[in-house]
């Protein structure tokens, strides 16, 4: 398991956090996603044998919430 917290400057509201949590959690290999609108971050826990960070990052960008590492 790998856990990473990333900055996502485009998070502005609860809808944003819900979208991130819903979309990213649907990826196979992602165990948990917690987005925080107050500090504009998302903490993602995933299994690197199933999915790579690059795939998660690409999805975040695709749904309009690119991360800033």
Structure confidence by residue, pLDDT tens digits, 9-61: 999 999 999 999 999 999 999 999 999 999 999 999 999 999 999 999 999 99
Candidates 27, 69, 52, 62; CA nearest to 42 is: 69
The CATH class for the domain spanning 2-62 reads: alpha beta
Give the count of alpha carbons within 13 A of 31, CB side only. Answer: 10
Structure tokens at 24: 């990213």
Cα–Cα distance measured from residue 53 to residue 39, given in angstroms and rounded to the nearest whole number: 21
């Amino acid at each position: 398991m790998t856990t990473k917290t990333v900055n996502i400057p485009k998070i502005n509201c609860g809808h944003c956090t819900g979208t991130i949590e819903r979309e990213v959690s649907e990826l196979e290999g992602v165990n948990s996603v917690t987005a925080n609108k107050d500090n504009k971050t998302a903490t993602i826990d995933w299994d690197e044998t199933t999915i790579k960070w690059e795939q998660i990052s690409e999805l975040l960008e695709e749904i309009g919430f690119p991360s800033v590492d």
